[in-house]
Amino acid sequence: MKLYEYNAKSVFKKEGIPIPEGYVARNSTEAREIAEKMGIPVAIKSQVMVGGRGKAGGIKFANTPHETFESAEILFSASINGEDVKYLLVEEKADIKKEFYISVAVDRSIGKPLIMASKEGGVDIEKLAEENPEKIIKYHVNPQEDFLVYEGREIARKMGVGSSLISPVGGIIWKLFQVFKKYDAHLAEINPLIITENGLIAADAKLDLDDDSIYRHHKMKDFGEYEEHEFAFVKLDGDIAVIGNGAGLTLTGMDMIKLNGGNPATFLDIGGGASEDVIKKALNLVIDFSPVKVIFLNVLGGITRADDVARGVIKALEETDRKVPLVIRLTGTNEAEGQRLLTEAGVSFETSMEKAAKKAVELRNSF
């Protein structure tokens, strides 16, 4: 469960991490009224779940309420990396003296929380890690022991923040870890953590919670952004989206992609008995995931009916503006009807998983 920035910031504030003054606008008039109320230069920030918001033009600045209204009009009509803007966060424009980066995530390779921190914030951390890995401090936390305040200070010292900032930056690191632990997060991130005349402030906030822990955090559902997922969806580092009906079949499809020299971009299990609507939602989800260059839909119909799959595919393709090549393996219950529907719609398919996976990789390599 990912939280919008404004929701993540409300959690951070509750747990003692300073944030800028800001309010949520659901239309351009509200954005202007917020700017009038604040009476200061503001940042207008689109609230989307995708990365690269700043580079995509999703953040603007305004000195007057009228400028705020005009910027809000632009942002509400924009699509930021494939996602429409429903909310804006209008907050004080900070006078930034220095930017840092801190995050806490799960390092699955060793099964421990990993704190990453850098004296260089506000940048693409993946690019920084690739080009200047020595600038990122990494610290694994023993999950069976408490993470203590002095450990946060030690991380700050290793960052090289300067003696006067070791204690306050270390304190923010400690508090961010407490948020990560308390809310069962996959990721808690501040990028950037900024120095202003008023001290340290979390200028941005990310919080991604484990869906399986939501029963312990019922109030999170009150944010209004939580939806019970019809399927399991994991983003990966490749560019071929893999969708299957059943975890085992989806994993097998991923293995076939790797075997043929490709790299999966997603694990998406639509489960048994997936409806036409679930198929459509799953396809729309991976189509909107910008790294995806080809989609491999691997369905062996049992409870899931092949004709429902075909109808969901056709609807998704009709509704999307982003054209992504789709390779379908479709067999099983009502396969003749499903294959007929795809043929009439001009959508090709395979009955062999091996052939379909090979075709998906060949399509990707043809770009």
Q: What is the dihedral of CA 177, 150, 194, 10, to 10 degrees?
A: 30
| Cβ-based neighbour number of residue 146 at 10 Å | 10
52: left (phi over 0), alpha (psi -120 to 50) or beta: left
Distance CA 252, CA 254 (A): 5
Nearest partner of 265 among 247, 244, 239, judged by Cα: 239
Distance CA 149, CA 141 (A): 12
Residue type (1 letter), 248: G
Distance CA 132, CA 146 (A): 31
Distance CA 76, CA 45 (A): 10
Q: Which two tokens stand for residue 214?
A: 């939501």
* CA 340 centroid distance within chain: 37
Residue 193: strand pairing partners: 100, 202
Distance CA 170, CA 161 (A): 10
What H or E segment, with its residue span, contains residue 294? strand 294-301
Determine contact, residues 73/28, Cβ cutoff 8 Å: yes
Determine contact, residues 128/118, Cβ cutoff 8 Å: yes
Distance CA 163, CA 280 (A): 55
Residue 332: strand pairing partners: 301
Distance CA 43, CA 4 (A): 16
Q: Which residues are catalytic?
A: 101, 189
The residues, ordered by sequence, that sit 6+ positions from 131 with a Cβ below 8 Å of its Cβ are none
